[in-house]
Structure 1
């Protein structure tokens, strides 16, 4: 029994306790919750460690330490404990991402040791909806990407990632992990696109899904087709599917400077309910 404030790597037998923490904020935690529900807490299957912060023997906060470092339900004391553990372990992640307040506090403690970052996105509005808005007609040409269409969808995914993140996902391992993730979403029926003349002109994915909430990601309109309203009607099509077949709450987060995207999401019924922060290395 842990009787003092401390951190440790969770073992598989603590799955229920971890899920109870994640369930406190089902929308904000959808990404990590979906991974845990699929893989459990075994680090090899999870793709990283799940750190726990305990007070008086009770698990109170989590931090996912994989390709991303993600603080979860972490107050100031938990953030300090996670920062100390991360500092001692050395940087293994490509980003820190999570709720803005706890992520900012974590980065403030790690920046002297891990900095400088390639980019800090301090305020990324978290947007949520529970219903389709009246008056918006979903694009009838947006459909699920088929499993035999990887050669069609992958260039659009690479273009979106490079434009959004600033580096190509094909760097490093030649894109093997990124291609596997795209294939996973296509295989699960959670990749959507509008195709014109053999080219993807709009795409989006449902990147994380639980029975409580799901998260749309990777929204992209081909540069030559912007200004046609495809992001609004395309998002409406993806949202209709998400609400009908995936979860009762749909979320996404967006860069605060992307005013066009924020306006498009508001037209489809999304409202800002909080904020994320990303630190990119």
Structure 2
């Protein structure tokens, strides 16, 4: 394996074991990059970007996933500054910077003048996890979705994304790509929903990524006319129960600090805060 004693370089398949050892220092917080590394083997053509590694005295001390999402791994503020200094030498593909608050805030403060005004910055997002059975009874009507559910699940996914991000995932001709992503999650068994008597989705959530250690949940959504009825709490309890049984032993997610109702629902289920994230949308 080629190494450099100091500085940043692009990692490749030969670095996979060393990279996974770095990720394993905090495998729940790092579940996204762990998933990406295991599924792509750090092959750039499958990553759709690059994985940067920071070396100190010949050892990998931090890393940075750089594709559509830029995600620091095991990075402190000095490491984040090193990645920011390296960034101008590479082709930029990033549309979102997300991860632990200190390295993301530091990286962004060092590239903001070059990268322009963001669409939105979300500071202090609680990163939550649960390692036990849920504290409340799971909703027995929440189940894994199947391919025949796609036409009901897809509009709910579009509604959630538009509400959360502020733009539709179908904007600019993105409908086919987004529908393919929803189809992929269903086919993996990573999509969960409750349907009402008409077949409409009234609660949903998905597993975004998973490793042998953890699964990260995304896209939690309740139909607007059914909010305040406890569907999110019981629904998430059902998701936690099924994901811990069938996917990974720890369930994690991160939530906007201002979303008091969601945070309260997750707390009732048994999630606890273990870190803070920042998300920069470009």
| Superposed pair shares fold, TM > 0.5 | yes
Is structure 2 residue 257 aligned with structure 1 residue 245? Answer: no
What corresponds to 1:236 in structure 2? 237
What corresponds to 2:40 in structure 1? 39
The Cα of 1:3 is off from its aligned counterpart by 4.7
What's the RMSD between the two structures over aligned residues? 1.3
What corresponds to 2:184 in structure 1? 184
Is structure 2 residue 64 aligned with structure 1 residue 59? Answer: no
The Cα of 1:152 is off from its aligned counterpart by 1.2
Aligned residues: 280
Query: Retained in 2: the 8 A contact 1:10–1:52?
Result: yes
What corresponds to 2:144 in structure 1? 144
**1:57 to 1:177, Cα distance in 2 relative to 1, 3 A:** farther
Matches within 5 A, 1:92-131: 92-131=93-132
What do the CA deviations read for 1:204-262 (whole angstroms, capped 9, x no partner)? 01111111111111100011111111000100110000111222211110000000000
Instruction: Tell which deviates more after alignment, 49-58 or 251-260.
Output: 49-58
The Cα of 1:90 is off from its aligned counterpart by 5.4
Distance between the aligned counterparts of 1:31 and 1:125, measured in 2? 16
Distance between the aligned counterparts of 2:242 and 2:188, measured in 1? 13
Query: Tell me, which stretches of 5 or more residues in structure 1 are unaligned?
Result: none
What corresponds to 1:271 in structure 2? 272
Distance between the aligned counterparts of 2:182 and 2:145, measured in 1? 11
Query: Tell me, which stretches of 5 or more residues in structure 2 are unaligned?
Result: none
Query: Residue 256 of structure 1: SS of its match in structure 2?
Result: coil
Query: Retained in 1: the 8 A contact 2:64–2:83?
Result: yes
Query: Retained in 1: the 8 A contact 2:134–2:240?
Result: no
The Cα of 1:173 is off from its aligned counterpart by 4.1
Distance between the aligned counterparts of 2:174 and 2:210, measured in 1? 27
